[in-house]
Amino acid sequence: MGGAFVAIANDGSALFYNPAGIAFQKGTRLQMDSLGVVGLFRFFPSSTPPGTIVPEKGYNLNVKPKLIPVASMYLTKSMSQRMTFGFAMFAPFGLSANATSFRDSDPKNLKYVGRFSGTRAALQSFWFQPTMAYRITDNSAIAVGIAMVHTHLFIEQSILNPLDDGTVFGEKLAPIVFPGQPDNPAGKAIARLLPEGRSRLAGTSNSPGYNVGYLWKHEKSKTNFGLMWRSAVVHHLSGKASFAFTTGYPLEAFVGKDKIPSLFPTQSIKGSFVTPGTWSVGFSNSAFWHSTISAQLDFQDYRRFKDVPVNFSLTQSTGQDVNGNTVVTTLATPAELRLKFQLENSYIARVGFEKQMGEKMTVRAGYIFDHSPVKDASVGPLFPDSSRNNFTFGVSRMVMGNKEISFFYQAMKFLNRTTNVADNNNIFTNGEYQNFAHLFGFGLRIHLGEFAHPFDR
């Protein structure tokens, strides 16, 4: 139904959409949903380094995995006439991107042109949420859920870009390579002689999250009104940073094979970022045509996800020279690296339709307009995003008495997007993005117990 469910919330997934809905669900109920996402993301750069060969169909921004799985599980159990307990496992935020197969042996002119902005990323944020719902009156309920949120973040990108950070690093090597020469012009010359590097940053966190819902039902008009708030979550990451470099580069014979890798040691890191809060409001009506019509508006404060500061644990190394004197070397990893994304707040408009087709079958359809939170400056391999139109369809059927199986599909058409940001000229992420995604899935609901009230249907 396009996710327009905050004012319906009549199955286990209410724990995600509006937890107050479980207060109207009697007995014990189990539910699982399994979703597969197939993304078709293409990028046509507006400019490239000289000699770059762009694939005829543009760069594929989702090399692998071809299929991204997303799953959720829900349990609800009525404890009394008014109190219901629920437990849910779901992933409200996630990201999976891989813009390159990263074959280091490939010539530079064949590699993905935007790799210095990012090559691979994975964000998995899992909510484990126990919830208590209370039926205030026959037609209204509230609920509160307190979750443990386990998050894993992985980001990979190329480093030592000759037009960007490679110049900065080259200036640090200038006294060794060109002693007595000004650092700035020497750094630019050295940058073109450096290896291409790759950084991998990975960390996990465990943080609290909160979910609150309210649901009101007007029996005479068959109209529902729902509200939901899911908190923002501050993630404090702990993890590792590792680095790798190509070999056989022009400067290798002069500085030695191990000199540059020794300045980028594998080390522990810490970082932090915020996934946004969500506010949802919706209405539904079931008075006509044995059908339910619903509408919903979501607001998400993605502006809080503005950057990811990464703190490195090793900025200096200590050793001895040939005479036994202590030598302190400044490493290339800084005390802090700030990955800037600068997202903005977003909204999602949803409408849904459900119709009973006899005693055992239900069909559903929906539409979603999802306003992208990604600004032009942040569009790239990690966020190849734009606002999108979504069309959904699903069908459910009762089987074996108390079980219901569902199949559903969503077509996600991203609006074509062309970016031209001066600050991105040297990382080559300006150009046209053409994206489409298929989402398809399967669900199973099991109901143990009797319907006790007309609202419970």
- Alpha-carbon gap, residue 219 to 287, rounded angstroms: 10
* Chain-centre distance for alpha carbon 28: 32
- Alpha-carbon gap, residue 73 to 152, rounded angstroms: 19
Which tokens in the block code for residue 442? Answer: 């399967």
266 half-sphere exposure, CB direction, 13 A CA radius:
7
Question: Among the ranges 95-99, 135-139, 255-259, 327-331, which has the highest mean pLDDT value?
Answer: 135-139
Whether residue 63 is predicted with pLDDT greater than 50 in this model: the reply is yes
Handedness of CA 372, 281, 36, 94 (dihedral sign): positive
Residue 362: predicted pLDDT: 93
Residue 270: predicted pLDDT: 95
Choice among 98-102, 193-197, 320-324 with the minimum mean pLDDT:
320-324
Residue 4: predicted pLDDT: 97
Residue 413: predicted pLDDT: 97
Helix and strand numbers (H, E) in the chain are 5, 22
Mean pLDDT to the nearest integer, 316-345: 83
Whether residue 457 is predicted with pLDDT greater than 50 in this model: the reply is no
pLDDT category of residue 448 using cuts at 50, 70 and 90: confident
- Alpha-carbon gap, residue 428 to 4, rounded angstroms: 39
Question: Shortest CA distance to 118 belongs to which of 379, 393, 446?
Answer: 379
Question: Shortest CA distance to 373 belongs to which of 304, 273, 453?
Answer: 304
Judge contact between 68 and 40, C-beta under 8 A. no
Q: Is the peptide bond before 384 cis (omega within 30 degrees of 0)?
A: no
Whether residue 452 is predicted with pLDDT greater than 50 in this model: the reply is no
Question: Shortest CA distance to 379 belongs to which of 330, 432, 415, 338?
Answer: 432
The residue with tokens 């690296």 is 337
- Residues whose CB is less than 8 angstroms from the CB of residue 175 and which lie 6 or more positions away in sequence, other chains included: 183
What is the total residue count of the chain?
457
Which tokens in the block code for residue 234? Answer: 């501050």
| Other residues' Cβ atoms within 10 Å of the Cβ of residue 425 | 13
- Alpha-carbon gap, residue 130 to 75, rounded angstroms: 9
- Mean pLDDT, rounded, of the chain: 90
Residue 451: predicted pLDDT: 47
- Alpha-carbon gap, residue 331 to 316, rounded angstroms: 5
- Alpha-carbon gap, residue 140 to 18, rounded angstroms: 13
Domains of the chain and any CATH numbers? 14-160+195-456 (2.40.160.60)
Say which DSSP state 196 is in: P
Whether residue 456 is predicted with pLDDT greater than 60 in this model: the reply is no
Encode 257-269: b = buried (16+ Cβ within 10 Å), e = exposed.
eeebbebbbeeeb
Whether residue 154 is predicted with pLDDT greater than 50 in this model: the reply is yes
Question: Shortest CA distance to 341 belongs to which of 388, 391, 376, 299?
Answer: 376
* Residues of the chain above pLDDT 90, percent: 67
Whether residue 61 is predicted with pLDDT greater than 90 in this model: the reply is no
Q: What is the pTM of this model?
A: 0.90
Mean pLDDT to the nearest integer, 283-301: 94
Mean pLDDT to the nearest integer, 25-39: 92
